[in-house]
Every structure is written in structure tokens, then in C-alpha cells.
Amino acid sequence: MERVSSSTSTYDLGEDATAYDDLSHLPVAAVRNHVPLAIDVFSGAGGFSLGAIQAGFEVRAAVENFGHAAATYRKQIRNFTGRRVEFFEEDILNLSPHKVMDEGGLAPGDCDLFLGGPPCQGFSSHRLGKSGVNDPRNALLYRYFRFLDAIRPRMFLLENVPGLLQPKHAEYLSTFLGLAEDNGYAVREPIILNAKDFGVPQNRKRVFIVGYDPKAVEFAIPWPPHPTHGEPGKLSERGPLMEWRTSAEVFAVPAPPNDPNDHHMQHRAELIEVFRSTPPNGGSRSQSLRTLPCHMQHNGHKDVYGRIDPSKPSPTMTTACINPSKGRFVHPTEHHGITARQAARLQTFPDDFQFEGGLMASGIQIGNAVPVALAKHVVSQLRNVLPSSTG
């Protein structure tokens, strides 16, 4: 069992078939002799992978341990090159990176981009005080590094919640960054990007950390990426921005016929009346007449049972995004929570991308995903770093 130690703690790092049909949401492109290669760990249902494929990468391998997300990934993620993604439904602590490379047909240094979003719940800003500091999932950040060190990609891109940058998690982050730099990677300062600034109809802030091997690539691109969208009429240093996409577009078009994800929670009559009393374009738990005794001494979570405002980007899709009791997840005009398909659209998944496991499992997969359009934009920028013979 491999371990890494910090000044105060020691963390376990673990021990070191089917043909797919094409889907319309993947790019139609001629297969070139030199397609950049990627690996995606903690892949979830595949938002990061799909964005990378749409940016022109071939994903050689992916790792995910949540069964429903694994089932979704296997059915939905296809390389436009026709090569199958080698998928590992395993606990990454017990999976050897060399096995991943072997089955993905890669030697150390062959991978161009190593992707991953280690579980973020321990870093969530919603966890108060020192809560989350010793969450065992936080140590998976180090396991990401051990894969990085074995695979030796030209670049890596890590995504997580902004809470990762909180002082209480400084030990985890500084240890990870130090390990990467000590092993030959140049690491850019962690940045926070908001998905709404990159064509996603959702207000969603996430941390991105990019690193690169200066012996393999010259990182001569603007970083962080320039926003493509902004407030109406806003100018950037590069000229006018496109307007933020609003959530209205998500609700304007019916779901495809027989869509297995076109379902919402079934609510009690009492809750339906609560939703009827919730005003359009917002509302709060008090306006919804849903102030319970437990709320009387609590000033937070005012958005629960609120409606999504269609004139703005939506609130952040969480793993409970289909549950109105967990946030502002009530349909703008109808008296129920949003459907899994509507949540998926807010994450810019295409309508032919179907999530496995039922409503609750779908919500978890959707909330955990990197928005596809954001992933595509960021990965496209990184592709410009690669030598022309590869990219």
C-alpha cells in the first residue's frame, strides 16, 4: 500500500468489449494520423470526456467507481476515431495506473492530456468550519497525482469545487502542487471559471488546475481562457461578448419522445400547493409558505423550493438538482421540480445522451459532471499547446 505523508497526516494511496455505434452528439471528423490522446479518471458519466472528444481528442481510458455513472459512460461515450474507450469500473485506490496504460495502448509520455475531477464533497464550501478537512475522499487528490506521475502526460487538467481553495484545505492543495512540481511539472495558479461565461446556461463556479511538462510542450497560450459570454452589452478586452445563455432555452423545447430522463419527482399534494404559491422567476422558502419550525432559528438555505428564473442562467446543478427541497430547483412555471433532462440540458449534455439508473441516480451523475460546453472550451484551448504533429 503506497502512502504519502504531510506534516500532520498519512494518507493511503492504494495499490499500485463492447463495440459502440455512433451518436449524433459526437463530432463528424476525418480521422487524422495524429489525434491527441487523453485519459479521464473520476470520469463520472462522462462530461469531461465528451467535451474532450468534441475538442478533437481521443479518450483512451477512463476510470469510475459509481455503478450507474459507469453504465452511462459505457453506453454514451464514443470516440469519433472509432476506437473504444477502455473503461475501468474500479476503486482507483486499488487500480494500477500501469494496467490502465497497458489496456489503453499507452506508454509513459504517450498521453497528451490527463483529465480528472476527484470527488469534491469534502471540499464543498457548504461544509462549515473544519467540516470536511478529514473527509477520506480528499486524499483521492493524491491518488490523481500518482496516476499522473506514472502516465507522464504532456499536460494535466484537474477540476474541483472552489472550496478546494479554502485555507482549511491548504494542506491538501499545497501537497498536491508540490508533488507535481517536484516531479517535473510546471503548474499554473489555480483559477476559478464560471460556466455561464463559456456558453453554459448555468451559474456554476469551479476550480481548474492545469500543469504541463515544460520539456514536452511550450505553454504559450492565454491562461485563464478568455470568457466568450457575459452580461448583455458587456465588452471584454477582445471586443463584445455573446450574451449569457439563459435557462429559458432549456424549458422552451419539449424533451424527445420516449426520453427515459424526461421525469421529475412525484410530489405530495401539500408540496404541489407550496409550488403553486411560489412566485414566478424566483421565490424563497418563506414566499412558498414553507417555513418549518426547524427554519425559525436558521437564516440559510433560503432558495429551497424556489423557482428557476428563466431570464437568467440557472443556479448550480448539484447532485440533488431534481429535488426542490435542496435548492432552487422548481420548474419556472409548472408546479414540480425540474426533470433530469432539463438538468442535463443545463449542464449542456445533448438530448441523445441518456443517463442510467433512474431519477435519483441520474441527478447525482448530472450534478457531478463537468458541463460539456465548458469542458470543450477549456480543452480546446489546451489543444493549442500541443505540437502540431500531435494536435
Active site amino acids: 120
**Cα–Cα dist 266/339, whole Å:** 11
Crossing angle between the packed helical segments 140-151 and 97-104, to the nearest 10 degrees: 50
Amino acid 66 reads F
- CA 297 to mean position of chain CA atoms: 34
If 0-12 CB within 10 Å is exposed, 13-18 middle and 19+ buried, where does residue 350 land? middle
For 225-249, letters b (16+ CB in 10 Å) and e give bebebbeeeeeeeeeebeebbbbee
How many CB atoms lie under 10 A from the CB of residue 112? 27
Q: Cell match 472550496: residue?
A: 163
Amino acid 313 reads P
> Is-cis flag, bond preceding 224, omega within 30?
yes
Q: Cell match 486524499: residue?
A: 139
**In sequence order, which residues have a C-beta less than 8 Å from that of residue 322 and are 6 or more positions away?**
264, 265, 329, 337, 338, 339, 340, 343, 359, 360, 362, 363
Q: What angle do CA 228, 245, 75 make, to 5 degrees?
A: 95
Q: Cell match 474507450: residue?
A: 85
